Amino acid sequence: MDTREELLKNVQKIVVKVGTSTLTNEDGKLNIDKVKKISLELSNLSNKGYDVALVTSGAVGAGMGVLNMHKRPKTLSEKQAVSSVGQVSLMHLYQTFFHEHGKVIGQLLLTKGEFADRRRYLNARNVCNALIRKKIIPVINENDAIVSDELKVVDNDTMSALVSGLIDADLLIILSDVEGLYNKNPQKYNDANLIEIVGDINEDIKRMAGGEGTKFGTGGMITKIIAAEMATKIGTNLVIASGDDPENITRIVEKENIGTLFVRKNKKISSKKYWLAYGTNKKGIITIDEGAEKAILKGKSLLPVGIKSVEGVFDRGTVLKIENLENEVIATGISNYPSDEIELIKGCRSEDIRSILGHKYDDVIVHIDNMVIMEGK
């Protein structure tokens, strides 16, 4: 396998994600010195000509500190109230510390809605790139103060991977309370070894990831592995490293062997297909037969003749899951027809669509250009 020097030689756009465990002390209060050092590191990278964006956790943790709370709020409304207090405190600190180094920041509070809707996704993409072109550092967080469960991204590890796709980042650095991925839990086993480079995220790699995070955060190693799986598909290298020393950010960019590097795929998927796979809410399911499954896996579009059943009520242009007869999701894609019309033409030949419906949008239900095949298929 190539060395880090070779794998990271053309890095220009960098996303740095800092977790709650990195930004807060043991009592949950914000570690102001850590925020200051992270601001310095990103400012220095910007001065060296890199394009940088920051995805930050810590709003709830910061709010807990301001309100002198020692237990994480349990209800959604309590969490959102604490987050609204913490967000002000957190952004004030970032603005102050970045300003000390002559840097301007722009705050972006995102929800799943910005990624699920294609028009809002493209708008967020344009805004991020406009900030970067002006050498303004985007500081991004999920809008915890108003987000509902159905619009929640899940965690900021996933958010950072989505942002990497949003701006076509070359490198994503996730700072956490762990040094990287180990072959076994280092808190339990003295002979645990840090894995320096991961080329393929297989089931063995996923099994190595534990599920729990700190008491003030929501993520664990498994969410970081999912983020790595996402980011590497869009052509972004990802490094998981300890946030104890913010200088690790610069060391990683300078290609030192810090943390675990997950290597990007040689054949990256397009921004549109990345959005289809990870950004959208899937509102329906089409089940297909074996013939249609084989055709899709060979790069063919989905014809009505291969459809066995339709689940959900949806309009034309909706993003769907495409499942095989074993109920495995093999692809996601944009439907050319609404659910009620697919119900009428399923199992039929394309040349019969007009006579059945009285009109015809397309010969195919989902075109291969508007479809992304799931990993491992």
pLDDT surpasses 50 at 306: yes
183-191 average pLDDT score: 80
Other CB atoms within 10 A of residue 230 CB: 24
pLDDT surpasses 60 at 145: no
pLDDT surpasses 60 at 37: yes
Angle at 361 between CA 359 and CA 364, to 5 degrees: 120
- pLDDT at residue number 49: 96
Question: pLDDT tier at 152 (50, 70, 90 boundaries)?
Answer: low
Summarize pLDDT for 72-128 with one digit per residue, the tens: 788 878 888 888 898 898 999 999 999 999 999 999 988 777 787 788 888 989 999
- pLDDT at residue number 191: 85
- pLDDT at residue number 59: 84
Q: Which strands sit side by side in the sheet containing 307-311, from one edge to the other?
A: 307-311, 285-288, 319-323, 329-334, 371-373
Question: pLDDT tier at 214 (50, 70, 90 boundaries)?
Answer: very low
Q: Three-state SS across the chain?
A: CCCHHHHCCCCCEEEEEECHHHHECCCCCECHHHHHHHHHHHHHHHHCCCEEEEEECCHHHHHHHHCCCCCCCCCHHHHHHHHHHHHHHHHHHHHHHHHHCCCCEEEEEECHHHHHCHHHHHHHHHHHHHHHHCCCEEEEEECCCCCCHHHCCCCHHHHHHHHHHHHCCCEEEEEECCCCCECCCCCCCCCCCECCEECCCCHHHHHHCCCCCCCCCCCCHHHHHHHHHHHHHCCCEEEEEECCCCCHHHHHHCCCCCCEEECCCCCCCCHHHHHHHHHCCCCCEEEECHHHHHHHHCCCCECHHHEEEEECCCCCCCEEEEECCCCCEEEEEECCCCHHHHHHHCCCCHHHHHHHHCCCCCCCCECHHHEEECCCC
- pLDDT at residue number 377: 54
Tokens found for residue 48: 């060296």
- pLDDT at residue number 58: 81
Summarize pLDDT for 44-88 with one digit per residue, the tens: 999 999 999 999 988 887 888 888 888 878 887 888 888 889 889
User: Which residue do the tokens 């309370």 mark?
Assistant: 177
pLDDT surpasses 70 at 278: yes
Question: pLDDT tier at 344 (50, 70, 90 boundaries)?
Answer: very high
252-273 average pLDDT score: 88
31-54 average pLDDT score: 96
Check: pTM over 0.85? Answer yes or no: no
Question: pLDDT tier at 211 (50, 70, 90 boundaries)?
Answer: very low
pLDDT surpasses 60 at 150: no
30-54 average pLDDT score: 95
- pLDDT at residue number 366: 95
Q: Which residue has the higher pLDDT, 252 or 208?
A: 252
- pLDDT at residue number 216: 37
Average pLDDT, the chain: 87
pLDDT surpasses 50 at 215: no
pLDDT surpasses 80 at 212: no
pLDDT surpasses 90 at 2: no
User: Which domains, and CATH codes, for the chain?
Assistant: 4-268 (3.40.1160.10), 282-373 (2.30.130.10)
pLDDT surpasses 90 at 226: no
In contact, 232 and 265? CB cutoff 8 Å: yes
Point out the least confidently predicted range of 150-154, 234-238, 255-259, 283-287: 150-154
Point out the least confidently predicted range of 120-129, 196-205, 324-333: 196-205
Q: Which residue has the higher pLDDT, 341 or 317?
A: 341
